Structure 1
Amino acid sequence: MALNVEEEVVRLKEEIQRLGQPQDDGSYKVKFGVLFNDDRCANLFEALVGTLRAAKKRKVVKYDGELLLQGVHDNVEIILLPPTDTAA
């Protein structure tokens, strides 16, 4: 069963928190290769790169570049931004 984009972004946040390292500012960091090669993520996301792009567009995560490719971009850090109080 396919998830809608909003549900996938919520799941992505959960997976980054599970696999990533918490930072002092409330954000989490994880390398793209860790996410891409995780079995649970592979089963959850049909298109991890697409979900990351959707999350970036919504300012939920940030990372360098537009299109991440497995192998080439394994060391790119994905940063899950801390929640803001301005979300309505």
Structure 2
Amino acid sequence: MDVAHEVALLTEEIQRLGSKNADGTTSVKFGVLFNDEKCANLFEALVGTLKAAKRRKIITFDGELLLQGVHDNVDVILL
């Protein structure tokens, strides 16, 4: 699995599904990302891709790990 490629795809999906914030960043709720059909088909392990992107400082979100249902309202912010 090519992590850099997965992170690039994640960036595109956040831009597609998200909205611009006043500070110029783009954000999307984790639940929107997780429940999107295209994302479900693209990412075998969305949570792992999110963690890899966070480690590379491409995105940010509160907490260490996002879980479906519990964290649906957490913003995933593209930096």
Relative to the length of structure 1, the TM-score reads 0.86
- SS for the counterpart of 1:73 is coil
Residue 60 of structure 1: aligned partner: 58
Structure 2 gap segments, 5+ residues each: none
Query: What one-letter code is carried by the residue in structure 2 that aligns with 1:5?
Result: V
Residue 85 of structure 1: aligned partner: none
Q: How many residues align?
A: 79
Relative to the length of structure 2, the TM-score reads 0.96
**Structure 1 stretches (4+) deviating beyond 4 angstroms?**
none
Residue 41 of structure 2: aligned partner: 43
Structure 1 gap segments, 5+ residues each: 82-88
Aligned CA RMSD, in angstroms, stands at 0.8
Any idea what the Cα deviations from partners look like across 1:20-59, whole Å, max 9, x if unmatched?
A: 0012332101000000000000000000000000000000
* Counterpart-to-counterpart distance in 2, 1:25 and 1:8: 26
- SS for the counterpart of 1:75 is coil
Larger Rg belongs to: 1
Residue 68 of structure 2: aligned partner: 70
Residue 27 of structure 1: aligned partner: 25
